[in-house]
Amino acid sequence: MLNPQQKAAVEKTDQPLLVLAGAGCGKTRVITEKMAHLVNHNYCSTDRLYAITFTNKAAKEMKQRAMKMVQNGELLNISTFHSLGLRMMQQEITSSEYQRGFSILDTSECQKVIQALLPKGIKKELSNQLQWQISGWKNAALYPEQVDSSVPMAVEIYQQYLDYMVSINAMDFDDLILQPLWLLNRSEAVRNKWQQQIGYLMVDEYQDTNTSQYQLVKMLMGHGKHLTCVGDDDQSIYGWRGAQIENLQLLQKDFPSLAVIKLEQNYRSSSTILNAANAVIQHNPHPFEKKIWSDLGQGETIKITAYNSAEDEAQQLVTDISFQKRVNLKSYSDFAILYRSNHQAKLLEQELRINNLPYQMSGGRSFFDYSEIKDLMAYIRLLSNPKDNSAFLRCINTPKRGIGMQTVQQISQIAKRNGKCFFEACAQTQLLGDLSPAAQAKIKNFVAMIKTHQSMKSSAEHIVESLVKQTDYINWVNLSANNKVAKINKVKLVRDFLKWIQAISSKQFLAMDELMNYLSLQSNQDDEVAEDSIKMMTLHAAKGLEFEHVYLVGVEEGILPHANSLADSDDENDAVEEERRLMYVGITRAMRQLNISYVKKRKKRYQDDPNEGVFGPSRFLDEIPMELTSGYHSQDLSEEEQKQSNKKNFAALKAMLGD
């Protein structure tokens, strides 16, 4: 049941291939069908077939689909870039600067490292900017000596940061791509091994690759032809985190025999929606021309509505969803509310709560963001990697054991003076002579507890349970909570974490370092979505999803396109093009009905809001042909007329429902 273009993409195996897959054109199906084709026709064995995508959720879904089509499908190597990089570093650790059991630090922990490397007195905002800059250099695959910076100190800190991470045997998430790339660059033996190990490589969401990721793909392939990249230049919306749309053209340059196949038949949306999307995106330059189309019928016109205030926008939207739900017997999960920035969700969320409509917000606080989970993760990291100074600093006085900041500073000085990590310095009692007897005793007890658990031969599950019990962590969390509700929630978090580790361990025996790396990668995993609820999310979070009815709100100058994105960009045209691609992503999420709204005058979010005075309909609305829309420029009601219209809508709905 593949269309001719999909079939050609599946069967093309004799040269490198770029599949330009328009929104809703069945790219995941092509990827999984091609996996089955490669294995079932003996082009590649299952264990030598690799596929890379960008989220754990996408990788999991892809593997589930592929396993139904491929014998021994569990051997398929389907993962994120970061998971592949982790696997490579674990297998090639002896060829690298690192040692077994390295830690993976999260963003907040890396921020502390950078802050510690900077001269005293540097504001936190500046250290945040430097952290972002270092991440950008890593995404661009730059060594410190290759960096062209007007601030020499920044380059020096970059080098110190790299050296420090090696010294504590730790990596950040950027390193999971960069370090394997650098390793392949300098070791011909490792490079040859991996190029022979990968029989065929498929890359999903190729338009989102940054320079480091693309170079890793190129290095793994060598000059081979066993490569398929699938992507859509019109959905490249991650330039702010290093994605390079230019990688599409680089692929042609670096693989001269590259074939290009376009998937343009959309299986998701009506013709009206697709014609609007095509009309908007055609204002961007294209290295490859394509135009998505559908045979699902013309469908409803796109409703574009102007509101006098954000409050009116939220009220009318919720009224409309309630009406659709009751009258047309829709499920709540058929509806999605999309917005450019998270701050736009507040009024919408309040209105949904007032009307008791179930909703699910994507991008909320992660399970791994809670301090209790971070505490336990730090203990797991320290048990696995005693050189992890960041984990040591979090654990040493958690729960409180009377070891203050002054003592920690002394430990740091002792460690530095003797060329030791913090834990090693504490483990050698002869080095602690400058500390008070009381401090020495407390440190000795802490070290003994960690060493006892490091030497345990049990599974990671039992070691963590033992540690929580010996530290009396649950009781400490209970006592340190501010109120009864907080106590219940915090204790539940800890117990849920232990249950989760138990569930992971029940599938296979895990050593502590295996558990540590598994949890580090899972901390970035996508949130599960409740079944029957209205979905609320940013346009960035919506990519790859589809909904019967989409409400695209706040489509205003200063919001979409976003004023900050335009102001922060070195090239305003590039910024506008990426914002236009966001608009395209929003439009193409809709299957049957698309409602777009904007507010004529929006209140300031805060005193110095740069968006004040730049509202009004987005320029992108003028790029949608008028014949595809209804309501645009005919909804300029006065404030009183708008209120009366809202009242009538509420009254009609209540009367219909018998309220």
Binding-site members for ATP are 21-28
Residue with tokens 């999605």: 336
Q: Nearest to residue 387, comparing CAs of 421, 426, 431, 410? A: 421
CA distances from 100 to 92, 95, 197, 385 (A): 10, 11, 22, 8
Residue with tokens 């009116």: 312
Q: Kindly state the greatest CA–CA separation across the chain.
A: 83
Q: Nearest to residue 209, comparing CAs of 175, 182, 241? A: 241
Binding site membership: which residues?
21-28
Q: How far apart are CA 87 and CA 91, in angstroms?
A: 6
CB 653, CB 322: distance < 8 Å: yes
Q: How far apart are CA 386 and CA 450, in angstroms?
A: 9
Burial call 607-626: b when 16+ CB within 10 Å, e when fewer = eeeebeeebbbbbbbeebee
Q: How far apart are CA 478 and CA 188, in angstroms?
A: 55
Residue with tokens 């409602």: 595
**What is the distance between the terminal CA atoms of the chain, rounded to a whole angstrom?**
49
CB 473, CB 375: distance < 8 Å: yes
Give backbone dihedrals phi and psi of 602, rounded to 5 degrees, phi first.
-110, 140
What is the set of active-site residues?
27-28, 204-205, 235, 589
Tokens of 267: 């299986």
3-state secondary structure string across 440-483: HHHHHHHHHHHHHHHCCCCCHHHHHHHHHHHHCHHHHHHHHCCC
Tokens of 518: 């598994």
Tokens of 155: 């380059």
Sign of CA dihedral 207, 213, 214, 216: negative
CB 109, CB 130: distance < 8 Å: no
Q: Nearest to residue 254, comparing CAs of 215, 196, 303, 203? A: 215
Query: Which amino acid is located at 249 in the chain?
Result: Q
